[in-house]
Structure 1
Amino acid sequence: MNTLISFIIVFGLLVFIHEWGHLYFAKRAGILCREFAIGFGPKLFSFKKNETVYTIRMLPLGGFVRMAGEDPEMVDIKPGFEIGLVFNRHNEVKQIIINNKSKHPEAKVVQVEKIDLEHELFVEAYDEDELVRYNVHNKAVLVQDEQATQIAPWDRQFGSKTVGQRALAIFAGPMMNFILAFVLLAALALMQGIPVDRAEIGEVMPDSAAASAGLLEGDQVSSIDNIPTDTWEDMTSIIQQNPKETITFSVIRDNQPTSVSVTPNEREGQLGASEGFIGVTQPREFSIPGSLMFGVTQTYLFMTMIFEVLGLLITGQFSLDYVAGPVGIYTYTGEAAALGIFVLMQWAAALSVNLGIINLLPIPAMDGGRLVFIGLEGLRGKPIDPQKEGMVHLVGFALLFLLVIFVTWNDINRLFM
C-alpha cells in the first residue's frame, strides 16, 4: 500500500507539473484548452472549470492538454441543414443545437444557408423564407447528443499563434519538470543540509564500526594510515579499500590531535566487489544560498547522467536494462519510499529530470518532435501540411506505445523471473 501511495503521489506530481506547464503558457497565449488530463484511456473522474475539463484517466502512462486546433474542429454543418439557435440577452447565438432539437423548445429552428464559426462568427439561415444573419458569440457552444462543446474561433486555436508562442507552450512542459527537480533538491538541502566535501565525520550510526572505535561527530580526519585525506572522497576511498582491516585515523578533536584505530565492516559494493564501511554520514551545512546552488548543481548532474546513458545509443552499448517502464518505476519508487522521504524526494527529482529530457528528444508524438515541426515552420516561413504532421505523430505514438509494452514486459521478466 505504501508503494502504491508513493507511486501515485510521485507520478501524479511529475505529470501534473509537466501538463500544467503546457496549460499555463497555452492559456497565456490565448489558446482554448479543452482538456487537462492525467493518464490515458477511459475517464475515472472529471470536472469542468471555466473553459477546461480536468480529468483523471485509467492508464498511468502520462497525460495531455488538448488544445483547440490540434484536432478537427467542430461538426461540419452544411447548407440546408436544420439547426436550433439559442440566444443570449444581446441577441447573439450562445448555443447551436445539432440534433435532438425537440429537447430544446427554447431554440429557434432555422435552415442553414451559410455558417462561419472560426473567423466572422455568424450563421446565415432562412427564417420563414427570409435570409437572416445571426451573430455568434465567441464562446458559443455546439450541442450534439446533449454534449456541449465550445466553439474555437481562429484566434483561440493553436495554429493561429506565433511560432514563439507555440514553441513556448510546448517547451513549457519539460521546462516545468526541470524546475520541479530544482525545487525538490533545494528543499531537500534546506531540510537535511548540504553535503560538505571535506574529510570530517558527520553523524555516527549506533552500533557501527566508527561508534565502536570511538570516532565522534565533528572529528576532522587529517590522514588515514599516514595517507593525507583532504576530502570526503579521499577518506571514503581508503575505508572502502580496507574491509575488515584495521586502519588508523589521525583526527583533530577540540583542536587537539588524536589517533583512533578502526576496523571497517564489509559489504557488497556497486560493482559486486566487497568494500569497507564504518557507518558515518557525510558532514552537512545549512544555508539558503547553498541550498539553491545545490538544487542547480544536482539538477545539472542528473541531466549529465541521463545524457551519458543516451550516449550509449550512439556507441551501440545501450541495453534495455538501462530503461524502466511503469512496472519498474513503480518498484523503484516503493524502494525509495522505504528508505525515507529524503530518498523519495531525490528519486522524484531524478525522474522529473528524466521525464523532461525524454520529452525533448526529437521523437514524433513527443514534445521534442512537435518542436521540430514548429522549428521547420519557422525556417520555411509556412507550416507543414497538418495531415502529414498528424500522420507522423500518430505513427510515433503507436511506436512509443509498443516500446512501453516491450519495456514493461522486460521489467516483469527482470523482477519476477
Structure 2
Amino acid sequence: MMKTIITFLFVFSAIVVFHEFGHYYFARKAGILVREFSLGMGPKLFGHQGKDGTTYTVRMLPLGGYVRLAGLNEEDELEPGMEVTLFIDENDQVYLIDLTEDGDYEALPVRVDYADLAEEMIIEGFPMGSDTLTRYSVSKTAQIKEQDGTLVPVAPIESRYESASVSRKMMTNFAGPMNNFILSVLVFMLVGFLLPGIPTNENVVGELIEDMPAIEAGLQTGDRILAVDGVEVSNWQELSTEIARHPGEAVNFQVERDGQAFDQSVQVDSVSHEQTGEVSGAIGIVRPQRTGFFDRVKYGFTETWAIMTGVVSALYHLIFRDFNLNMLGGPVAMAQMTGEVVDYGFIAILQLMAYLSANLGIVNLFPLPALDGGKLVSNVIEGIRGKPVSQEVEGIITIVGVAILVLLMLAVTWNDITRLF
C-alpha cells in the first residue's frame, strides 16, 4: 500500500508540475509576472523568492502544484476596510504591504479605503488613530506579504496577464497541455529504449510459442496472415480479434510467405481467461517487434498520438452518444491503476505516467471554463472582438465552470469508490 501511495504521488505530481512549468515558462516569455510557482497544495511549508520575482513554495499536500499569473483569475489583494501594515521608504513610497497580523513598530498600520496596485499604484486609507484620509504612493517594485507569510511582488499593469497580446495569452494557456504531450512523448520514447523490442500493429507472425497450434501447423516467423476463415485482416488487432472468435475450431488461414500466398489449416486452441471466465481462441503467435533506433524514437510519438485520439473519441461518445460515468476516472481510479501496475516494475510505471500525461493534456484542452481550453476560447473571442471579455463576466463564467467541474469530480470519485466495493 505504501509503495502504491508513494508511486501515485510521484506520478501525479510529476505530471501536474510539468504541466504548470509550461504555463510558467511561456508566461515569463510573454512578460507576464508569475507570482508563485508551488509544488503541492494547501498550507505553505517553505517559500523562497527568486531574482525573477517569482516566489517558489513547497506546500503540505503533495498533489501536483500550480502557478499564479498576475491578473489571471486573481482577487484584489486589498479591499476597503482591510487592516494592513505599510512599510515606507525614504522617498515616501510603500515598499512592503504586510497583510499578516504580526505587526512592526517601524511600520504604519492603515485601514484601507481604496487601493489600485495595477495602474495608479496608490493606497488610500486611514492611519491608526487618525480620521484623515491619506494617500500613499506604492513602488512598482513593492512586495506583498500575504497572510500565510508568502512574499509576492505587486503587479503593475504592464506585467499583468491582461496586458499581454492575444497570441501570447494563447501560447501561455496552451503551453500546459503542450508540456503534457511532450512529457508523454519523452517517457514513451524512454520506454521504447528500455523494452527489448517495439510492438508493431502488423498482421505478421512474430515469435512462435512451443507446443501451440501455429508451430504445429507449420507457420513461421515473418509469415503475413492475409485472412482468417475468409475474413481479411490488415493489422495485428484485426488478426487477434478474428483468432479469438474461433476457440476449438479448425480454421483456414490465408498466409503470405516470400511473396507467395497459400492456405493453411490451423486447429485453434481454447483459452479461458481467469478473471472473466470468457473462452477465446489462441494459436501461439507473438506480436511482431522492431528493434531499430528510429523505431524506438517513433514509439514515443505513435503511442502518445494513439492515446490522444482515443481520449477524443471517448469524450465524443460520452457527450453525444451514451453518457456513462464508468467511462470517466478521478484520483481514486488513478490510484487504483497505480496499484495495478506498481508490481510490474519501473517500465510499467513509466507507461502509466505517459498515458496519464497525454490524457491530462487532452482533457485540459476541453473548452470548459476553468480549463485551459476554456481560456483559449476566451482568447479567441478576444481576438474576434478586439477587446477582452470583462473581468466580471469572465469571473462568473469561471465560477460556473469550476462548480461544474467540482460536481463532476465528486460524482466521478463517488462512482470510483462504489465500483471498488
TM-score (norm 2): 0.77
Give the corresponding residue for 1:178: 181
Matched residue SS, 1:103: coil
The Cα of 1:143 is off from its aligned counterpart by 4.3
The Cα of 1:17 is off from its aligned counterpart by 1.2
Matched residue SS, 2:31: coil
Give the corresponding residue for 2:356: 351
Aligned residue type for 2:244: Q
Q: Does residue 1:195 correspond to 2:199, yes or no?
A: yes
Distance 1:82 1:168, change over 3 A: closer
**1:253-287 deviation per Cα after TM superposition (whole angstroms, max 9, x unaligned):** 9xxx9x99776350349998521235553221123
1 CA distance for matches of 2:234 and 2:177? 39
Give the corresponding residue for 1:309: 314
The Cα of 1:91 is off from its aligned counterpart by 9.0
Distance 1:398 1:198, change over 3 A: closer
Asked if the contact 1:377–1:383 (Cα under 8 Å) also holds between the matched residues in 2, the reply is yes
Give the corresponding residue for 1:236: 240
The Cα of 1:75 is off from its aligned counterpart by 2.4
CA RMSD of aligned residues (A): 4.5
Asked if the contact 2:80–2:113 (Cα under 8 Å) also holds between the matched residues in 1, the reply is no
Q: Does residue 1:383 correspond to 2:394, yes or no?
A: no
Give the corresponding residue for 2:37: 36
Matched residue SS, 1:312: helix
Give the corresponding residue for 1:129: none
Matched residue SS, 1:388: helix
Give the corresponding residue for 1:142: 144
Distance 1:245 1:338, change over 3 A: farther
Give the corresponding residue for 1:360: 365
Give the corresponding residue for 1:48: 48
**1:363-412 deviation per Cα after TM superposition (whole angstroms, max 9, x unaligned):** 11111112222221221112222122112211221221121111111111
1 CA distance for matches of 2:146 and 2:334? 41
Distance 1:212 1:103, change over 3 A: same
Asked if the contact 1:33–1:68 (Cα under 8 Å) also holds between the matched residues in 2, the reply is yes
Q: Does residue 1:69 correspond to 2:71, yes or no?
A: yes
Aligned residue type for 1:118: A
**1:293-323 deviation per Cα after TM superposition (whole angstroms, max 9, x unaligned):** 3322322222221122122244431211111
1 CA distance for matches of 2:345 and 2:177? 27
Aligned pairs (5 A) from 1:9-408: 9-38=10-39, 40=41, 42-43=42-43, 45-50=45-50, 51-58=54-61, 60=63, 63-70=65-72, 71-76=74-79, 83-86=86-89, 94-96=95-97, 103-105=104-106, 117-119=117-119, 137-143=139-145, 147=149, 148-192=151-195, 193-198=197-202, 200-203=204-207, 209=212, 218=221, 220=223, 232-233=236-237, 236-237=240-241, 239-245=243-249, 264-268=269-273, 273-408=278-413
Asked if the contact 1:209–1:265 (Cα under 8 Å) also holds between the matched residues in 2, the reply is no
2 CA distance for matches of 1:28 and 1:312? 38
Distance 1:198 1:390, change over 3 A: closer
**1:330-389 deviation per Cα after TM superposition (whole angstroms, max 9, x unaligned):** 112221333343343333323222211211111111111122222212211122221221
Matched residue SS, 1:55: strand
Report the number of matched residues: 403
More off after superposition, 215-224 vs 291-300: 215-224
2 CA distance for matches of 1:45 and 1:328? 29
The Cα of 1:103 is off from its aligned counterpart by 2.2
**Unmatched 5+ stretches in structure 1:** 126-131
2 CA distance for matches of 1:175 and 1:272? 42
2 CA distance for matches of 1:16 and 1:74? 26
More off after superposition, 187-196 vs 225-234: 225-234
Distance 1:336 1:279, change over 3 A: farther
2 CA distance for matches of 1:99 and 1:306? 46
2 CA distance for matches of 1:226 and 1:146? 71
Aligned residue type for 2:199: P
Distance 1:325 1:202, change over 3 A: same
2 CA distance for matches of 1:73 and 1:330? 37
Asked if the contact 1:3–1:334 (Cα under 8 Å) also holds between the matched residues in 2, the reply is yes
Asked if the contact 1:269–1:275 (Cα under 8 Å) also holds between the matched residues in 2, the reply is no
Asked if the contact 2:85–2:108 (Cα under 8 Å) also holds between the matched residues in 1, the reply is no
The Cα of 1:195 is off from its aligned counterpart by 2.2
Give the corresponding residue for 2:131: none
2 CA distance for matches of 1:318 and 1:265? 35
2 CA distance for matches of 1:287 and 1:91? 69
**Unmatched 5+ stretches in structure 2:** 126-133
1 CA distance for matches of 2:293 and 2:413? 41
Distance 1:101 1:345, change over 3 A: closer
Q: Does residue 1:3 correspond to 2:4, yes or no?
A: yes
